[in-house]
Amino acid sequence: MIEIGAQVDLSHPAERVWLALTDRQLLGRWFAEAETVEGVPDRLLLHTAGLPGFDANVEVEVTERQEPDLLVLSCDEAGRLSELTCTVTATKQGCRLELREVSTHGAWSGEQHEPREQQLRQALTVRLPAILDWLAFQQVDLRRADGGMTAELPVLGVRGGAGRNPRRRRTLVAVVAGAVLLAGTAAWVTLPPDPEPVAAPAPAPSASPTVTPARSTVAPTATPSARPTRVTASPTTRPSRTPSAKPSRTTESAAPPPPPTPMTARYQTDSSRLFGYTGEIVVGNPGTAAVADWAVVVTLAEGTTVDDVDGANWRQDKRVITFTGTAVPAGGSQTISFDVRDSRPKAREPESCTIGGQQCAGL
Protein backbone atom coordinates (compact mmCIF):
# COMPACT_ATOMS: atom_id res chain seq x y z
CA MET A 1 0.00 0.00 0.00
CA ILE A 2 1.48 3.34 -1.13
CA GLU A 3 0.30 6.60 0.36
CA ILE A 4 0.46 10.17 -0.95
CA GLY A 5 -0.52 13.06 1.28
CA ALA A 6 -0.49 16.85 1.58
CA GLN A 7 -2.09 19.47 3.82
CA VAL A 8 -2.44 23.25 3.96
CA ASP A 9 -3.73 25.83 6.46
CA LEU A 10 -6.18 28.25 4.84
CA SER A 11 -7.56 31.59 6.05
CA HIS A 12 -11.05 30.72 4.79
CA PRO A 13 -14.08 29.11 6.45
CA ALA A 14 -14.71 25.40 5.99
CA GLU A 15 -17.88 26.02 3.96
CA ARG A 16 -15.95 27.95 1.29
CA VAL A 17 -13.24 25.29 1.08
CA TRP A 18 -15.92 22.62 0.78
CA LEU A 19 -17.43 24.52 -2.15
CA ALA A 20 -14.02 24.56 -3.87
CA LEU A 21 -13.81 20.79 -3.42
CA THR A 22 -17.29 19.96 -4.76
CA ASP A 23 -18.08 22.67 -7.32
CA ARG A 24 -17.18 21.30 -10.74
CA GLN A 25 -16.12 24.65 -12.23
CA LEU A 26 -14.02 25.61 -9.17
CA LEU A 27 -12.39 22.17 -9.12
CA GLY A 28 -11.31 22.70 -12.71
CA ARG A 29 -9.65 26.02 -11.79
CA TRP A 30 -7.33 24.73 -9.08
CA PHE A 31 -6.89 20.99 -9.80
CA ALA A 32 -8.36 19.41 -12.96
CA GLU A 33 -11.41 19.82 -15.17
CA ALA A 34 -14.28 17.45 -14.35
CA GLU A 35 -17.21 16.09 -16.34
CA THR A 36 -19.82 13.39 -15.92
CA VAL A 37 -19.09 9.95 -17.37
CA GLU A 38 -21.47 9.16 -20.23
CA GLY A 39 -23.80 6.32 -19.29
CA VAL A 40 -22.60 6.29 -15.66
CA PRO A 41 -24.40 9.16 -13.86
CA ASP A 42 -22.80 8.41 -10.48
CA ARG A 43 -19.22 9.05 -11.65
CA LEU A 44 -17.04 11.96 -12.74
CA LEU A 45 -14.05 12.01 -15.04
CA LEU A 46 -11.09 14.20 -13.97
CA HIS A 47 -8.90 15.31 -16.89
CA THR A 48 -5.55 14.57 -15.21
CA ALA A 49 -3.78 13.02 -18.23
CA GLY A 50 -0.62 15.05 -18.86
CA LEU A 51 -0.31 16.36 -15.29
CA PRO A 52 2.94 15.47 -13.48
CA GLY A 53 2.61 12.00 -11.88
CA PHE A 54 -0.56 11.04 -13.81
CA ASP A 55 -0.66 8.61 -16.76
CA ALA A 56 -4.36 8.95 -17.64
CA ASN A 57 -7.63 10.58 -16.68
CA VAL A 58 -9.13 9.52 -13.33
CA GLU A 59 -12.70 8.36 -12.78
CA VAL A 60 -13.97 9.22 -9.28
CA GLU A 61 -17.04 8.22 -7.29
CA VAL A 62 -18.11 9.55 -3.88
CA THR A 63 -18.27 6.81 -1.23
CA GLU A 64 -18.65 9.01 1.86
CA ARG A 65 -19.73 12.60 2.36
CA GLN A 66 -20.07 14.66 5.57
CA GLU A 67 -20.42 18.31 4.64
CA PRO A 68 -18.26 20.32 5.26
CA ASP A 69 -15.81 18.03 7.09
CA LEU A 70 -15.19 14.85 5.10
CA LEU A 71 -15.24 13.72 1.47
CA VAL A 72 -14.05 10.23 0.41
CA LEU A 73 -13.59 9.36 -3.27
CA SER A 74 -12.97 6.03 -4.97
CA CYS A 75 -10.50 6.62 -7.87
CA ASP A 76 -9.79 4.58 -10.99
CA GLU A 77 -6.80 5.62 -13.13
CA ALA A 78 -6.70 3.25 -16.10
CA GLY A 79 -7.17 0.22 -13.84
CA ARG A 80 -5.04 1.49 -10.96
CA LEU A 81 -7.38 1.91 -7.98
CA SER A 82 -6.98 4.24 -4.99
CA GLU A 83 -8.99 5.98 -2.28
CA LEU A 84 -8.71 9.75 -1.81
CA THR A 85 -9.78 11.22 1.56
CA CYS A 86 -10.32 14.99 1.94
CA THR A 87 -10.57 16.20 5.55
CA VAL A 88 -11.49 19.79 6.51
CA THR A 89 -10.80 20.87 10.12
CA ALA A 90 -11.80 24.28 11.49
CA THR A 91 -9.02 26.44 13.00
CA LYS A 92 -8.86 29.90 14.62
CA GLN A 93 -7.64 31.47 11.37
CA GLY A 94 -9.94 29.46 9.06
CA CYS A 95 -9.49 25.75 8.44
CA ARG A 96 -6.95 23.03 7.59
CA LEU A 97 -7.37 20.89 4.49
CA GLU A 98 -5.66 17.49 4.34
CA LEU A 99 -5.65 15.20 1.29
CA ARG A 100 -4.56 11.58 1.63
CA GLU A 101 -4.53 9.10 -1.26
CA VAL A 102 -3.91 5.39 -0.65
CA SER A 103 -3.52 2.79 -3.43
CA THR A 104 -5.92 -0.17 -3.14
CA HIS A 105 -5.06 -2.00 -6.37
CA GLY A 106 -1.86 -1.52 -8.34
CA ALA A 107 0.89 0.91 -7.41
CA TRP A 108 2.59 4.04 -8.69
CA SER A 109 6.12 3.73 -9.94
CA GLY A 110 8.99 5.60 -8.30
CA GLU A 111 8.97 8.10 -11.19
CA GLN A 112 5.27 8.81 -10.55
CA HIS A 113 5.16 9.00 -6.77
CA GLU A 114 7.22 12.14 -6.18
CA PRO A 115 5.85 14.24 -9.13
CA ARG A 116 2.30 13.23 -8.18
CA GLU A 117 2.76 14.32 -4.57
CA GLN A 118 4.48 17.51 -5.69
CA GLN A 119 1.61 18.29 -8.07
CA LEU A 120 -0.88 17.78 -5.26
CA ARG A 121 1.02 20.07 -2.85
CA GLN A 122 1.37 22.82 -5.45
CA ALA A 123 -2.37 22.70 -6.15
CA LEU A 124 -3.14 22.99 -2.42
CA THR A 125 -0.64 25.70 -1.49
CA VAL A 126 -0.67 27.91 -4.62
CA ARG A 127 -3.70 27.53 -6.86
CA LEU A 128 -6.34 26.66 -4.25
CA PRO A 129 -5.66 29.72 -1.98
CA ALA A 130 -5.82 31.98 -5.04
CA ILE A 131 -9.18 30.53 -6.06
CA LEU A 132 -10.51 30.85 -2.50
CA ASP A 133 -9.45 34.52 -2.38
CA TRP A 134 -11.18 35.11 -5.69
CA LEU A 135 -14.29 33.28 -4.49
CA ALA A 136 -14.35 35.30 -1.25
CA PHE A 137 -14.22 38.53 -3.25
CA GLN A 138 -17.12 37.32 -5.42
CA GLN A 139 -19.20 36.55 -2.35
CA VAL A 140 -18.79 40.04 -0.82
CA ASP A 141 -21.83 42.29 -1.48
CA LEU A 142 -20.17 45.68 -1.94
CA ARG A 143 -23.57 47.33 -2.57
CA ARG A 144 -24.95 46.46 0.85
CA ALA A 145 -23.67 49.72 2.41
CA ASP A 146 -25.19 51.73 -0.41
CA GLY A 147 -28.47 49.89 0.10
CA GLY A 148 -28.85 51.32 3.60
CA MET A 149 -28.32 54.90 2.42
CA THR A 150 -30.60 54.40 -0.55
CA ALA A 151 -33.30 53.15 1.79
CA GLU A 152 -32.94 56.16 4.10
CA LEU A 153 -32.95 58.96 1.53
CA PRO A 154 -36.55 58.47 0.33
CA VAL A 155 -37.71 58.32 3.96
CA LEU A 156 -36.14 61.71 4.66
CA GLY A 157 -37.68 63.08 1.50
CA VAL A 158 -41.11 61.85 2.46
CA ARG A 159 -40.84 63.31 5.95
CA GLY A 160 -39.75 66.71 4.61
CA GLY A 161 -42.57 66.73 2.08
CA ALA A 162 -45.06 65.67 4.70
CA GLY A 163 -43.96 68.55 6.93
CA ARG A 164 -44.39 71.15 4.22
CA ASN A 165 -47.54 70.03 2.48
CA PRO A 166 -49.85 70.41 5.50
CA ARG A 167 -48.69 74.03 5.94
CA ARG A 168 -49.33 74.77 2.30
CA ARG A 169 -52.71 73.15 2.56
CA ARG A 170 -53.53 75.15 5.70
CA THR A 171 -52.43 78.35 3.92
CA LEU A 172 -54.60 77.55 0.89
CA VAL A 173 -57.56 76.72 3.14
CA ALA A 174 -57.12 80.03 5.00
CA VAL A 175 -57.00 81.98 1.72
CA VAL A 176 -60.05 80.18 0.37
CA ALA A 177 -61.91 80.68 3.65
CA GLY A 178 -61.03 84.39 3.62
CA ALA A 179 -62.27 84.68 0.07
CA VAL A 180 -65.50 82.93 0.97
CA LEU A 181 -66.03 85.27 3.96
CA LEU A 182 -65.38 88.33 1.82
CA ALA A 183 -67.72 87.06 -0.87
CA GLY A 184 -70.39 86.30 1.75
CA THR A 185 -70.02 89.74 3.31
CA ALA A 186 -70.23 91.44 -0.06
CA ALA A 187 -73.36 89.45 -0.91
CA TRP A 188 -74.93 90.33 2.45
CA VAL A 189 -74.13 94.05 1.94
CA THR A 190 -75.44 94.16 -1.60
CA LEU A 191 -78.62 92.22 -0.92
CA PRO A 192 -80.48 94.86 1.26
CA PRO A 193 -80.67 97.52 -1.49
CA ASP A 194 -82.95 95.21 -3.52
CA PRO A 195 -86.06 95.71 -1.33
CA GLU A 196 -85.56 99.54 -1.13
CA PRO A 197 -87.70 100.22 -4.26
CA VAL A 198 -90.60 98.53 -2.45
CA ALA A 199 -90.44 101.17 0.29
CA ALA A 200 -90.20 104.02 -2.25
CA PRO A 201 -94.01 104.68 -2.50
CA ALA A 202 -94.09 105.53 1.20
CA PRO A 203 -93.05 109.22 0.76
CA ALA A 204 -96.04 109.86 -1.56
CA PRO A 205 -98.64 110.15 1.26
CA SER A 206 -96.23 112.22 3.39
CA ALA A 207 -98.78 115.07 3.86
CA SER A 208 -101.59 112.76 4.79
CA PRO A 209 -102.29 111.85 8.41
CA THR A 210 -102.12 108.20 7.29
CA VAL A 211 -98.38 108.47 6.86
CA THR A 212 -97.70 106.92 10.22
CA PRO A 213 -99.81 103.76 9.58
CA ALA A 214 -98.33 103.56 6.08
CA ARG A 215 -94.78 103.58 7.46
CA SER A 216 -95.63 101.02 10.13
CA THR A 217 -97.18 98.80 7.48
CA VAL A 218 -94.28 99.08 5.02
CA ALA A 219 -91.55 98.56 7.61
CA PRO A 220 -92.77 95.16 8.82
CA THR A 221 -93.40 94.12 5.25
CA ALA A 222 -89.91 95.05 4.02
CA THR A 223 -88.06 93.40 6.88
CA PRO A 224 -89.46 89.86 6.50
CA SER A 225 -89.38 90.07 2.71
CA ALA A 226 -85.62 90.80 2.67
CA ARG A 227 -84.45 88.24 5.29
CA PRO A 228 -86.41 85.27 3.91
CA THR A 229 -84.95 86.05 0.53
CA ARG A 230 -81.41 85.47 1.89
CA VAL A 231 -82.40 82.35 3.80
CA THR A 232 -84.25 80.89 0.88
CA ALA A 233 -81.43 81.58 -1.57
CA SER A 234 -78.73 79.70 0.36
CA PRO A 235 -80.60 76.39 0.82
CA THR A 236 -81.81 76.53 -2.76
CA THR A 237 -78.23 76.70 -4.06
CA ARG A 238 -76.53 74.23 -1.71
CA PRO A 239 -78.85 71.24 -2.14
CA SER A 240 -78.54 71.56 -5.91
CA ARG A 241 -74.74 71.06 -5.66
CA THR A 242 -74.75 68.24 -3.09
CA PRO A 243 -77.01 65.71 -4.85
CA SER A 244 -75.36 66.32 -8.23
CA ALA A 245 -71.84 65.42 -6.94
CA LYS A 246 -72.53 62.58 -4.48
CA PRO A 247 -74.47 60.24 -6.76
CA SER A 248 -71.60 60.37 -9.31
CA ARG A 249 -69.08 59.35 -6.63
CA THR A 250 -71.31 56.56 -5.39
CA THR A 251 -71.69 55.24 -8.92
CA GLU A 252 -67.92 55.22 -9.51
CA SER A 253 -67.10 53.40 -6.23
CA ALA A 254 -69.74 50.76 -6.95
CA ALA A 255 -67.96 49.66 -10.15
CA PRO A 256 -66.27 46.23 -9.59
CA PRO A 257 -62.43 46.26 -9.69
CA PRO A 258 -60.76 44.54 -12.65
CA PRO A 259 -59.45 41.00 -12.01
CA PRO A 260 -55.72 40.92 -11.07
CA THR A 261 -53.21 39.85 -13.71
CA PRO A 262 -51.74 36.41 -12.82
CA MET A 263 -48.10 36.28 -11.68
CA THR A 264 -45.46 34.57 -13.82
CA ALA A 265 -42.36 32.52 -12.96
CA ARG A 266 -39.35 31.26 -14.96
CA TYR A 267 -37.03 28.46 -13.75
CA GLN A 268 -33.45 27.62 -14.73
CA THR A 269 -30.78 25.24 -13.40
CA ASP A 270 -27.06 25.89 -12.88
CA SER A 271 -25.52 22.39 -12.78
CA SER A 272 -21.91 23.47 -12.26
CA ARG A 273 -21.74 21.90 -8.79
CA LEU A 274 -20.25 18.44 -8.30
CA PHE A 275 -23.04 16.84 -6.26
CA GLY A 276 -26.05 19.07 -6.69
CA TYR A 277 -27.11 22.20 -8.47
CA THR A 278 -28.34 25.75 -7.98
CA GLY A 279 -31.90 26.51 -9.05
CA GLU A 280 -33.10 30.01 -9.90
CA ILE A 281 -36.69 31.21 -10.17
CA VAL A 282 -37.59 34.71 -11.42
CA VAL A 283 -41.08 35.75 -10.23
CA GLY A 284 -42.64 38.47 -12.39
CA ASN A 285 -45.64 40.79 -11.95
CA PRO A 286 -46.99 41.90 -15.37
CA GLY A 287 -49.99 43.62 -13.75
CA THR A 288 -50.59 47.27 -12.88
CA ALA A 289 -50.69 46.84 -9.08
CA ALA A 290 -48.29 45.34 -6.54
CA VAL A 291 -48.96 41.73 -5.51
CA ALA A 292 -48.10 40.67 -1.96
CA ASP A 293 -49.83 37.28 -1.74
CA TRP A 294 -47.89 34.89 -4.02
CA ALA A 295 -46.28 31.46 -3.64
CA VAL A 296 -44.03 29.27 -5.79
CA VAL A 297 -44.31 25.51 -5.18
CA VAL A 298 -41.42 23.26 -6.28
CA THR A 299 -41.38 19.45 -6.11
CA LEU A 300 -37.82 18.08 -5.93
CA ALA A 301 -36.55 14.83 -7.42
CA GLU A 302 -36.25 11.79 -5.19
CA GLY A 303 -33.07 11.83 -3.09
CA THR A 304 -32.46 15.61 -3.28
CA THR A 305 -32.64 18.17 -0.48
CA VAL A 306 -32.43 21.96 -0.20
CA ASP A 307 -29.30 23.38 1.49
CA ASP A 308 -29.81 27.14 1.31
CA VAL A 309 -32.30 29.69 -0.08
CA ASP A 310 -31.74 33.33 -1.00
CA GLY A 311 -34.40 35.87 -1.99
CA ALA A 312 -37.50 34.32 -0.35
CA ASN A 313 -38.95 32.65 2.71
CA TRP A 314 -39.40 28.90 2.38
CA ARG A 315 -40.85 25.85 4.05
CA GLN A 316 -40.40 22.19 3.18
CA ASP A 317 -42.80 19.26 3.38
CA LYS A 318 -40.85 16.16 2.31
CA ARG A 319 -39.96 16.88 -1.34
CA VAL A 320 -42.32 19.88 -1.75
CA ILE A 321 -40.76 23.33 -1.20
CA THR A 322 -42.98 26.43 -0.94
CA PHE A 323 -41.38 29.84 -1.52
CA THR A 324 -43.02 33.12 -0.44
CA GLY A 325 -41.68 36.68 -0.22
CA THR A 326 -42.32 40.38 -0.13
CA ALA A 327 -44.73 42.23 -2.42
CA VAL A 328 -43.69 42.38 -6.09
CA PRO A 329 -44.35 45.87 -7.56
CA ALA A 330 -46.26 46.35 -10.79
CA GLY A 331 -44.05 45.47 -13.73
CA GLY A 332 -41.30 44.27 -11.33
CA SER A 333 -39.73 40.91 -10.51
CA GLN A 334 -38.07 39.00 -7.66
CA THR A 335 -35.32 36.35 -7.98
CA ILE A 336 -35.16 33.23 -5.79
CA SER A 337 -31.94 31.20 -5.67
CA PHE A 338 -31.69 27.87 -3.87
CA ASP A 339 -28.95 25.22 -3.54
CA VAL A 340 -29.96 21.58 -3.92
CA ARG A 341 -27.84 18.68 -2.70
CA ASP A 342 -27.98 15.56 -4.87
CA SER A 343 -26.50 12.13 -4.11
CA ARG A 344 -25.57 11.79 -7.78
CA PRO A 345 -22.99 13.88 -9.64
CA LYS A 346 -25.39 14.52 -12.52
CA ALA A 347 -27.92 17.20 -11.57
CA ARG A 348 -31.58 16.13 -11.52
CA GLU A 349 -33.94 19.04 -12.02
CA PRO A 350 -37.14 19.47 -9.96
CA GLU A 351 -40.12 17.43 -11.05
CA SER A 352 -42.43 20.46 -11.13
CA CYS A 353 -42.61 24.21 -10.47
CA THR A 354 -45.86 26.20 -10.24
CA ILE A 355 -47.05 29.67 -9.25
CA GLY A 356 -50.72 30.23 -8.62
CA GLY A 357 -51.41 26.78 -10.13
CA GLN A 358 -49.65 27.73 -13.41
CA GLN A 359 -46.54 25.88 -14.61
CA CYS A 360 -43.23 27.79 -14.43
CA ALA A 361 -41.58 28.53 -17.74
CA GLY A 362 -38.23 26.88 -18.51
CA LEU A 363 -38.93 23.55 -16.74
Overall pTM > 0.85 = no
Average pLDDT over residues 162-174: 49
Give the pLDDT of residue 249: 56
Which of the four pLDDT bands, split at 50, 70 and 90, describes residue 276? confident
Per-domain residue ranges of the chain:
3-137, 264-359
Q: Reply yes or no on whether the pLDDT at 228 is more than 60.
A: no
Task: Count CB neighbours of 352 within 10 A.
Answer: 14
d(CA 86, CA 75): 13
Pick the CATH number of 3-137 from 3.30.530.20, 3.30.360.10, 3.20.20.70, 3.40.50.2300: 3.30.530.20
d(CA 16, CA 204): 115
Length of the chain: 363
Give the pLDDT of residue 253: 57
Contact 34, 24 (CB under 8 A): yes
- Mean pLDDT lowest for which of 65-74, 243-252, 313-322? 243-252
Nearest-CA neighbor of 19 among 101, 92, 86? Answer: 86
CATH number of 264-359: 2.60.40.290
Give me the phi and psi of 7, to 5 degrees please. -145, 160
Q: Reply yes or no on whether the pLDDT at 314 is more than 60.
A: yes
| Domain 264-359 in the same topology as domain 3-137 | no
Give the pLDDT of residue 297: 96
Which of the four pLDDT bands, split at 50, 70 and 90, describes residue 12? very high
Strands 313-317 and 276-284: unpaired
Which of the four pLDDT bands, split at 50, 70 and 90, describes residue 187? very low
